[in-house]
Structure 1
Amino acid sequence: MNTQDKKLPTAFYGRTYRGEAGYRELMKNILEQGTTLGDRTDVGRKKLFSQKLIFDLQDGFPFHSSRSCPFSFAFKEYQAFLSGRSDIHNILSKDGINFWEGNTSREFLDNVGLKDVEVGNMCKAYGFQLRHYNGQFDVETQQAVVGSGLDQIQNAFNDLKTNPLGSRHYVSMWNPVQLEEMALPPCWHSHQWLVIEQDGEKYLNLEVTARSADLLFGTPFNTQQYAYLLLAFSQALNMKPAMLSCELVDCHIYTNQIKYCEELLTREYSEERCELIIKKDISSVNDIVSLTMEDLEMAIPENYVNRTKFSTPRPSMAV
């Protein structure tokens, strides 16, 4: 057989999608053209390789209208990451947000070898690497050792102020040296800032890379989080927020979510302009980390959010 006959169709490679219409088109393409493979969850997933999802913040903030996706949940989780604290579930569960309950349970932590880490704590994952990259974890306090590691968020912010047109404004939560000390390796693991200057204005852009993107459950929350981060950094740096580009390497739908995706695609969605407004004056990383929902205003048309909700199963819920 000629080796050329074994090539994957071009649909499996690097397509670009824009906005919520693009999100829905990407979901449709995975359902129709994705390959179904097994995975560590024993659920299996339909996937495409290296799909790019872009949102232009000059056209408004990308709130999601196809499914219920509370921005407050996305915001509070990312604020917890930005704080650098490790006890993620303990922070979020106070607001009824249980994203991390399963991955920080006693059984789960013991199974991944983190027997000295308390329930509700992710150890050296996510926020730890943002604010204490390659640092030390104090078993007594269950937090990063004060002053240990590299504060990547502060460094990136400082570099954007002093050398805005540079191309080294990069942040990574992927640390191979400490992967075994993380409750769960990060999925949306790195991002890069790029400033474009035109007519005396500086436009701030953000590229995010996801090694693994759960298109139905996680991606709408993740895109809101990074759109918020882009908006907050832009305001604190006195720049204009521009493009959010999300590179989804393993872009997938779990097999126990297929019927929900099919139902989602029957729904109407809105292309009306929405805005997220940060009402508080901010000019530093500390100002950003201190923001609460009370400091934000969501300008959303009255009928924007889809009326019908459904409970989205996660892989661990599969039977």
Structure 2
Amino acid sequence: MESAPGPDSAAHYETRYLDLMRRIWERGDERVDRTGIGTRSICGAELRFDLAGGAMPLLTTKRVYWKTATRELLWFLTGETNIRPLVLQGVKIWNEWPHARYVRETGDNIALETFVERIAGDEAFAERWGDLGPVYGKQWVDWPTYRYRRDGLYEKGPGINQVAAAVESLRADPAGRRHIVEGWNVAELGRMALPPCHKTYQFHVSGSGTEARLNCILYQRSCDVALGLPFNLWSAALFTRMMAQQTDMEAGELVWMGGDVHLYLNHAHLIAEQLAREPKGHPRLEIVRRPPTIFDYDIEDFVVHDYAPQPPIKAPVAV
């Protein structure tokens, strides 16, 4: 486990993120990607963060809207797949995908803002056009199963709540090697607005008793380092802290592993600006309440201390 970072920027936890960004931009393989925008990409990367003492990998070289990322994680844990609950909370990160589907399928080229207003104000419209398919949360808490019937047909069985199962397995068998939450359901990828990028979470317990520490390894198959990774790191660390609280452990280490790790070519201004900034400060997360289950947290349960980020840097999302 890493020791706590010192006051100099060279030892700052965020330096690892900035070094990864620089490496991709300077040495990445330039490619034409699915979105048509183009990326610079490397194959495989790893970042490690010590979560002891409330530490979080929250970037300081630009503002990361951690409450937005938290609301998304809590939405995942409901199993919901419609964007309307997010829209009603002012969370915009999933809006582009159903909007693009609406325009494509109807030919009605309405503005994104108009589409989102209709999602918020018209429940029937939201039910028809706001659903993303069986993305993240559906797989996390309601992985589909099927039963073979005597007449030779299959019928749907009870869904599997992987998150609840992971909590129970951590309590019952901390040394186990099967504490996994998986999002990559091959049979349902074609029905998803976007196949899961952060796809596999594996939990690992070090120490025992009062010294038990819960670690998490996140494997991410595809990673937009400029816009997506800051959110992914926060969410994975938060998920780890919530799981640790629910299993009576302290948070240990977050190990992030990326597959196709890339920067979009139209993010050049963001990259240049962010790499010119120095990371400062060590924000901490306090969870002010322990709810009955992992599924009962509210946004008010999380307080971040000592977070004084530099200004946000806007850039377009590739859809």
Instruction: Report the equivalent of 1:85.
Output: 80
What are the Cα deviations for residues 242-293 of structure 1, in whole angstroms up to 9, with x where unaligned?
Answer: 10011011100000012211111111211x33211111123522xxx22222
2:13 aligned with 1:19: yes
Share of identical aligned residues, percent?
27
Whole-angstrom distance in 1 between the partners of 2:182 and 2:33? 25
2:298 aligned with 1:298: no
What are the Cα deviations for residues 55-108 of structure 1, in whole angstroms up to 9, with x where unaligned?
Answer: 110161222111121110000001100110111x21111122111111123635
| Contact 2:39–2:263 (Cα < 8 Å) also in 1 | yes
Stretches of structure 1 lacking an aligned partner (at least 5 in a row): 1-16, 112-116, 137-145
Instruction: Report the equivalent of 2:99.
Output: 105
Q: CA RMSD in A?
A: 2.3
Decide which moves more: 201-210 or 96-105: 96-105
Instruction: Report the equivalent of 2:267.
Output: 257
Following superposition, the deviation at residue 110 of structure 1 comes to 6.3
Stretches of structure 2 lacking an aligned partner (at least 5 in a row): 1-10, 106-126, 147-155
What are the Cα deviations for residues 2-52 of structure 1, in whole angstroms up to 9, with x where unaligned?
Answer: xxxxxxxxxxxxxxx983110000001111111100011000100111100
Amino acid at match of 1:53: L
Number of residue pairs matched?
279
| Contact 2:287–2:302 (Cα < 8 Å) also in 1 | yes
Whole-angstrom distance in 1 between the partners of 2:145 and 2:274? 42
Whole-angstrom distance in 1 between the partners of 2:141 and 2:58? 27
Instruction: Report the equivalent of 1:8.
Output: none
Whole-angstrom distance in 1 between the partners of 2:18 and 2:216? 22
- TM-score under structure 2 length normalisation: 0.82
Following superposition, the deviation at residue 204 of structure 1 comes to 0.3
Whole-angstrom distance in 1 between the partners of 2:30 and 2:100? 32
Amino acid at match of 1:277: E
| 1:226-241 correspondence runs (5 A) | 226-241=236-251
1 or 2 for the larger relative contact order (CA 8 Å, sep ≥6)?
2
The secondary structure found in structure 1 opposite 2:255 is strand
Moved over 6 A (4+): none
The secondary structure found in structure 2 opposite 1:95 is coil
What are the Cα deviations for residues 160-187 of structure 1, in whole angstroms up to 9, with x where unaligned?
Answer: 1111111111111001011112121010
Whole-angstrom distance in 1 between the partners of 2:101 and 2:243? 38
Whole-angstrom distance in 1 between the partners of 2:226 and 2:44? 16
| Contact 1:103–1:109 (Cα < 8 Å) also in 2 | no
Flag the 1:122–1:135 CA change in 2: closer, same or farther, 3 A.
farther
Whole-angstrom distance in 1 between the partners of 2:67 and 2:80? 19
